């Protein structure tokens, strides 16, 4: 099948590779333009841009799709595969391919439509999530679902780990959808159960130790690795990248033992992986060698 691929971040790269491995013809690749990154703030191609260039594909990086109708239609694509692209597709683009545009969305629609479905599923304490292949229409993730696959969310799973699993699931599922497209029955999304996964705001990332332990744990795992839930201890700002529920009670934010168990409003969490400002991520034991946090230490005080 002749495919236009539209994606930008790391999440999208396994899908592009899967389409190539399955023998589909890539007519063009669309992704977000290079943006300043790193200490030198030089323009850096997105992960999809870099991978598509390695594979020798034409890469288009428009700031808007408003003027892309002619070139998009000229590609003669059977279908567009869209995964975390980052731009709204106008109706002229949605209608251009013979089969329309198939979107890979990392949630069980209609739950968690929108920008940050993986983060929000973990932060909300969902037991399951998954991937949907959706026939795109003008609304935000409102189109009929062609295929879906479900997976449990692990008790200590972070957004980073779940992101990688769902990316691979999406790559497998889109190949199945393209193979079976003639026999698939579009499933309209129900009106009940709609939730929206708002973009993560960095202001959300500060830990409120008066929250219950399960909420603190979900925030830590849901915001790992980016932007990273954080708190202050003394003069240090510390990000938390992995945690699990633990037994213990004390003043919210107080370190309770040598295992780095920290009291919350109710219950406690054990911090497993941390990162000091200006340093790399470290497992608990390595972190404590560089910054000891003995029992009685108080998080939330800077």
- Tens of pLDDT, residue by residue over 166-208, are 999 999 999 999 999 999 999 999 999 999 999 999 899 999 9
Distance CA 59, CA 194 (A): 35
pLDDT class of 302 with cuts at 50, 70, 90: low
Examine the domain organization and report whether 152 and 276 are in the same domain. Answer: no
Mean pLDDT over residues 229-258, rounded? Answer: 96
Do 151 and 17 have their domain in common? yes
Confidence of residue 38 (pLDDT cuts 50, 70, 90): confident
Q: Is the pLDDT of residue 76 over 80?
A: yes
**Dihedral angle over CA of 92, 194, 160, 128, nearest 10:** -130
Q: Kindly state whether residues 149 and 280 are assigned to the same domain.
A: no
Is the confidence at residue 69, as pLDDT, over 90? no
Contacts of 48 (CB under 8 A, 6+ apart): 5, 7, 8, 9, 12, 13, 16, 29, 31
- The model's pTM: 0.95
Of 177, 196, 215, at which residue does a domain stop? Answer: 196
Q: Which of 29-38, 47-56, 279-288 has the lowest mean pLDDT?
A: 29-38
Question: Quick one: pLDDT band at residue 37, thresholds 50, 70, 90?
Answer: confident
At 142, is the pLDDT very low, low, confident or very high (cuts 50, 70, 90)? very high
Same domain, 123 and 242: no
Residue 39 confidence (pLDDT): 72
For residues 9 and 47, the answer to whether their CB atoms sit within 8 Å is: yes
pLDDT at 36: 85
Domain housing 234: 202-290
- Is 296 within a domain? no
What's the CATH code of the domain at 64? 3.40.50.170
**Alpha-carbon gap, residue 60 to 28, rounded angstroms:** 7
Q: How far apart are CA 141 and CA 116, in angstroms?
A: 12
Rounded to an integer, what distance in angstroms lies between the CA atom of residue 90 and that of residue 99? Answer: 16
């Amino acid at each position: 099948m002749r495919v236009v691929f539209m994606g930008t971040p790391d999440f999208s790269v396994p899908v592009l590779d899967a389409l190539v491995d399955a023998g589909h013809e890539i007519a063009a690749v669309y992704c977000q333009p290079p943006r300043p990154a790193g200490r030198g703030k030089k323009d850096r191609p997105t992960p999809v841009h870099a991978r598509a260039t390695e594979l020798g594909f034409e890469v288009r990086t428009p700031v808007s799709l408003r003027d892309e109708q002619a070139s998009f239609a000229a590609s003669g694509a059977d279908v567009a595969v869209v995964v975390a692209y980052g731009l709204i597709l106008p109706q002229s683009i949605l209608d251009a391919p013979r089969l329309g545009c198939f979107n890979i969305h990392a949630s069980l629609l209609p739950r968690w439509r929108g920008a940050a479905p993986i983060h929000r599923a973990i932060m909300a304490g969902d037991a399951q999530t998954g991937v949907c292949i959706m026939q795109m229409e003008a609304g935000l993730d409102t189109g009929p679902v062609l295929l879906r696959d479900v997976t449990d969310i692990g008790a200590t799973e972070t957004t980073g780990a779940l992101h990688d699993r769902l990316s691979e699931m999406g790559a497998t599922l889109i190949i199945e959808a393209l193979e079976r497209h003639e026999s698939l029955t579009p499933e309209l999304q129900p009106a009940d159960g709609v939730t929206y996964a708002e973009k993560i705001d960095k202001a959300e990332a500060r830990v409120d130790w008066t929250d219950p332990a399960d909420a603190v744990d979900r925030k830590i795992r849901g915001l790992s690795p980016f932007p990273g839930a954080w708190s202050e201890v003394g003069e240090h700002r510390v990000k938390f990248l992995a945690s699990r529920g633990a037994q213990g009670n004390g003043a919210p934010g107080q370190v309770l033992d040598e295992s780095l168990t920290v009291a919350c409003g109710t219950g406690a969490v054990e911090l497993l992986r941390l990162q000091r400002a200006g340093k790399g991520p470290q497992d608990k034991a390595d972190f404590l060698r560089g910054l000891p946090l003995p029992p009685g230490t108080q998080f939330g005080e800077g």
